[in-house]
Amino acid sequence: MNDVCKVIEDSKPVLLMVMVQIAYASVNIFYKLAINDGMSIRIVIAYRLVFALVFTFALALIFERKSRPKLTWRVLFMSFFSGLFGASLFHNLFLEALDLVSATFATAIYNLVPALTFILAIFCGLEKLNMRSAEGKAKVLGTIIGIGGSMVLTFYKGANINIRSRTNLMHRNGHVTTLPTDSGHKLLGILCGFGSCFSFALWLIIQSKIAKEYPSHHSSTFLMTVMAAIQATAFALFVEKDWSQWKLGSTIRILTVTYSAILASGVAVIAVTWCVRMRGPVFVSVFNPLMLVLVAVADSLLLDENLYVGSLIGGLLIVCGLYMVLWGKSKEMTKTNHDASSESEITQSNRVLIANGAENTLKTLTEFEGFLDFVVTELDVSRMNGFEIQKHIQNELQIPVIGNYSFLHLDT
């Protein structure tokens, strides 16, 4: 019975991350249906962020009401750009790409974010490039493979893969539209897709700064959402002159903005946060390619869009490159954690200096002030092992033995 409970407990993070990717994939399908229904892209984003603002405010109020750090102008300044690159600009570019190209393509391009983040982190000094280690080589090679996969996905179509579709949600809505087929619109969609990835990668770099200065997850998310909601709403009001577009009349529009705001920007974020705390960020990241598979299948089965060999090959290369980068990062984190653990063990041990000769004691205390716990003089340690020295310290010198001891031997 205990083994069964342990298996269930260990499976929780896996099941949660699968559910998160299903939620994210379904958001992309809802976006496509809302756009097909005639809803403006800018208004979809504005509604999502306004709804998310209310939800994240409630979360911050419940979980961090008494534990928020002091809010500074610097934090607000960074939150502005966090909302710009991580929400308003990112979503506008991504949905523009979703409108001009297939949902499969837009989702596959999104898997370039880890590679772009790695490149930006190197330029910003947040990531080290060590080509002598296997981890460094894996990260560089994975980045190159991921970029190559995006090129294949962009420029190579290949044969059409026919999947029998039983349902076409596009034709069930009143406004049936088709993807633009001319090369100009497709190129614009590709550029918007790459732009959204670059914007999101910049956001991750900014978030690493915010996390250090304002370490409250729910509150920082709320600040970001406030800035993003203001930006997206102002942009939508400036661009969209037709006030009838703001009406959430159809069911699909209401479902899209509510689902994307509450489930994708709220519940999914909580689940991801819990999984990061339990298993680490690398564990969470490896589930991202699952969204590509889910969207590709749903795209073909539900939206009646063509699936090509080039999309599969490019997507596979992007996934392989992503996993290589994640593997390299995982190995580096393991080494870093091991070194930090070893350093912590030394720091937490009682450091004893064996100084044979009283004249060395004052000099030793001066040089090692703040580092040593005990200084022992006039002790012959030539025939004593570590246990015997520790026993002598406890019995003869009446110094209690607490934890481990690190011995430094200094002769006269």
Distance CA 179, CA 199 (A): 24
For helices 134-155 and 309-348, give the axis angle rounded to 10 degrees. Answer: 160
What is the distance in angstroms between the CA of the first residue and the CA of the last residue of the chain? 63
**Nearest CA-CA partner of 23 in 279, 258, 321, 278:** 258
Sequence-distant (≥ 6) Cβ neighbours of residue 201 within 8 angstroms: 113, 116, 117, 120
Q: Residue 98: is its pLDDT beyond 70?
A: yes
Distance CA 178, CA 65 (A): 48
Mean pLDDT of 324-347: 63
Would you state the pLDDT for residue 364?
A: 43
**Nearest CA-CA partner of 206 in 79, 69, 72:** 79
- Tokens 């090692």 sit at which residue? 368
Are 229 and 49 in contact by the 8 Å Cβ rule? The answer is yes
Residue 377 in 3-state DSSP? strand
Q: Residue 242: is its pLDDT beyond 50?
A: yes
**Nearest CA-CA partner of 307 in 150, 108, 19, 145:** 108
Q: Residue 38: is its pLDDT beyond 60?
A: yes
**Which carries the bigger pLDDT value, residue 408 or residue 384?**
384
Per DSSP, 88 falls in state: I
Would you state the pLDDT for residue 40?
A: 85
Would you state the pLDDT for residue 294?
A: 76
Would you state the pLDDT for residue 195?
A: 92
Q: Residue 231: is its pLDDT beyond 90?
A: yes
Query: 228 pLDDT band (50/70/90 cuts)?
Result: very high
Would you state the pLDDT for residue 7?
A: 66
Mean pLDDT of 335-349: 51
- In degrees, rounded to 5, the angle at the alpha carbon of residue 204 between the alpha carbons of residues 202 and 206 is 70
Kindly state the percentage of the chain with pLDDT values over 90: 7
Per DSSP, 69 falls in state: P
- Tokens 């539209």 sit at which residue? 177
Are 101 and 193 in contact by the 8 Å Cβ rule? The answer is yes
Kindly state the percentage of the chain with pLDDT values over 70: 67
Query: 115 pLDDT band (50/70/90 cuts)?
Result: confident
Would you state the pLDDT for residue 286?
A: 65
Query: 370 pLDDT band (50/70/90 cuts)?
Result: very low
Distance CA 281, CA 277 (A): 8
Would you state the pLDDT for residue 1?
A: 59
Query: For residue 348, which phi and psi values (nearest 5 degrees)?
Result: -80, -10
